[in-house]
């Protein structure tokens, strides 16, 4: 299976189950979780089911294209299912079958993994999914996002595309993965890795980056004041990426680090709150679509968790 066939198979599988096929978010992010289609949509009571490929930039992981397993930029196939269907594990295993990974031929296991993203005020519980000892997917039930409790809970599936492709194609280096017949991953992206690593570790200009950080931070605050959480969140993401660049460059000391993370988190949280307020003012419109993927049994005791947002709308003065 070529790299792009892998993407196509996952897209087809999740599209057939009723997910919106999203496109990669065009602002630099470290993970698919940070794209608004996950971070913002996981908030509040509205249903949301999406699948998209997200190029994920991690400047500190850059290896100048010399390490067979690490990249400045890798690609995640990101699925967010909200509310998490009761049979989400079965749905996920179905997607592996669509890739030709049969659990009677491979040792597939769900191994405990707790996830936390301090810069997003987010955490969840779930697993890393192992295929013959190799982690191929992060599977997380979001519990909190932007400092808000997730009601309902979203299930996030993050497939590591390069790893899965290496495994399916039985190659030892990412750069040897066949992208499309006759063209390798290396031919598409190796030079990108070399230059981006050079940029991240040597060529970036810390004073410029520090100035950019401050600028994006202020821009985020300014846009929030204008009641525009979506562009404000874009600015917060820019901050986050700038911080990652500075970190890779070794420009941030240990003592300063926590302070920068807090600045990013504070803005991300403020964006989350503002986003919820605009959705509340709109009356959480997706709720009435009744859009679901998979099995969604109602609670047998107590109210629906999502019902708690009724009071949020009333309490949102801004």
Partner 1 sequence: MSEDLLLEIGTEELPAGAVEPALAQLAQGLGERLAEAHLAHGAITTYGTPRRLAVRAAAVAARSPDSVRQALGPSVKAAFGADGAPTKAAVKFAESQGVAVEALRRVETAKGSYLAVERSEPGQPASALLPPLLQALVHAVSFKKAMRWGDVEQTFARPVQWILALHGSEVMPVVFADVRSGRVTHGHRFLSPGPISLRTAGEYLAALERAHVIADVANRRERIRAGVESLAHAVGARVLADPSLLDQVTELVEWPAPVLGSFEARHLDLPNEVLVEEMRSHQRYFSVVDAQGRLVPHFVAVSGTPVHDPALSRRGYERVLRSRLSDGRFFFDQDRKVPLVDRVPALERVVWQGKLGSYAEKVARIRPLAVHLATAAGLGGLREQVDRAALLAKADLTTGMVGEFPELQGIMGREYARASGEPEAVARAIAGHYLPRGASDPVPDEDPGSLVGIADRLDTLAGLFALGKPPTASTDPFGLRRACLGVIRIILGRGYRLSLSAAIDAALGAGRAPAGIAAKLGLSEERAAAVRGELLEFFRGRLKALWADDARADVVDAVLAAGFDDLRSTRARLEAFAQVVGASDFAPLAIAFKRVANIVEKQGSDVAAARVDASVFQDPSEGALSEAAGRAAAEVRRALEAEDAPRALAAARALKGPVDAFFERVLVMTDDRRVRDNRVRLLREVAQVFAPLADMSRIQAEGGR
Binding site for partner 1 (CB under 8 A): 68-69, 83-86, 89, 103-112, 114, 124-125, 127, 131-134, 141, 143, 150-153, 167, 172, 253-255, 296-306
The backbone region for 103, taken as left when phi is positive above 0, alpha when psi lies in -120 to 50, beta otherwise, is alpha
- List Cβ<8 Å contacts ≥24 apart for 282-286: 283/313, 284/44, 284/45, 284/46, 284/309, 284/313, 285/46, 286/46, 286/47, 286/48
CB of 227 to partner 1, least distance (A): 29
Q: Quote the CA–CA distance of 24 and 56 in Å, as a whole number.
A: 10
CB of 105 to partner 1, least distance (A): 5
Tell me whether residue 103 or residue 283 sits nearer to partner 1 (CB atom): 103
Q: Quote the CA–CA distance of 53 and 67 in Å, as a whole number.
A: 23
Tell me whether residue 40 or residue 164 sits nearer to partner 1 (CB atom): 164
Strand pairing partners for 159?
77, 137
71: number of CA atoms within 13 Å, CB side? 24
- Rounded to 5, what percent of the chain is helix, strand, coil? 50, 20, 30
Tell me whether residue 46 or residue 217 sits nearer to partner 1 (CB atom): 46
Tell me whether residue 68 or residue 231 sits nearer to partner 1 (CB atom): 68
CB of 306 to partner 1, least distance (A): 5
Q: Quote the CA–CA distance of 7 and 165 in Å, as a whole number.
A: 10
CB of 36 to partner 1, least distance (A): 22
Tell me whether residue 133 or residue 182 sits nearer to partner 1 (CB atom): 133
The answer to whether 242 and 212 have CB atoms below 8 angstroms apart is: yes
The answer to whether 93 and 49 have CB atoms below 8 angstroms apart is: no
Beta strands 155-160; 48-57: pairing state: unpaired
Tell me whether residue 17 or residue 106 sits nearer to partner 1 (CB atom): 106
Paired tokens of 198: 């050079």
CB of 18 to partner 1, least distance (A): 16
Tell me whether residue 132 or residue 187 sits nearer to partner 1 (CB atom): 132
CB of 311 to partner 1, least distance (A): 14
CB of 135 to partner 1, least distance (A): 9
């Amino acid at each position: 299976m070529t790299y792009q066939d892998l993407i196509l198979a996952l897209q087809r599988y999740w599209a057939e189950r009723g997910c919106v096929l999203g496109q990669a978010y065009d602002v630099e992010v470290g993970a698919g979780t940070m794209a608004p289609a996950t971070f913002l949509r996981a908030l509040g009571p509205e249903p949301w089911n999406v699948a998209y490929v997200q190029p994920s930039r991690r400047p500190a992981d850059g290896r100048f294209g010399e390490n067979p397993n690490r990249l400045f930029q890798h690609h995640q196939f990101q699925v967010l299912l909200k509310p998490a269907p009761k049979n989400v594990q079965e749905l996920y295993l179905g997607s592996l079958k669509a890739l030709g990974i049969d659990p009677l031929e491979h040792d597939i296991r769900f191994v405990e993994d707790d996830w936390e993203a301090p810069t997003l005020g987010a955490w969840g519980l779930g697993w890393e999914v192992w295929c013959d000892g190799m982690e191929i997917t992060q599977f997380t039930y979001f519990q909190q996002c932007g400092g808000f409790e997730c009601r309902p809970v979203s299930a996030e599936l993050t497939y590591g595309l390069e790893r899965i492709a290496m495994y399916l194609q039985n190659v030892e280096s990412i750069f040897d993965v066949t992208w499309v017949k006759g063209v390798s991953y290396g031919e598409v992206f190796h030079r990108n890795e070399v230059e981006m690593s050079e940029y991240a570790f040597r060529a970036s200009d810390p004073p410029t980056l520090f100035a950019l950080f401050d600028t994006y931070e202020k821009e985020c605050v300014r846009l929030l004041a204008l009641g525009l959480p979506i562009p404000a969140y874009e600015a917060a993401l820019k901050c986050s990426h700038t911080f990652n660049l500075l970190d890779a460059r070794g420009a941030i000391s240990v003592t300063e680090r926590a302070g920068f993370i807090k600045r990013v988190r504070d803005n991300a949280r403020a964006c989350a709150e503002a986003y919820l307020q605009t959705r509340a003012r709109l009356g959480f419109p997706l709720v009435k679509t009744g859009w679901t993927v998979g099995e969604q049994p109602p609670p047998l005791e107590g109210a629906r968790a999502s019902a708690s947002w009724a009071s949020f709308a009333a309490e949102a003065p801004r």
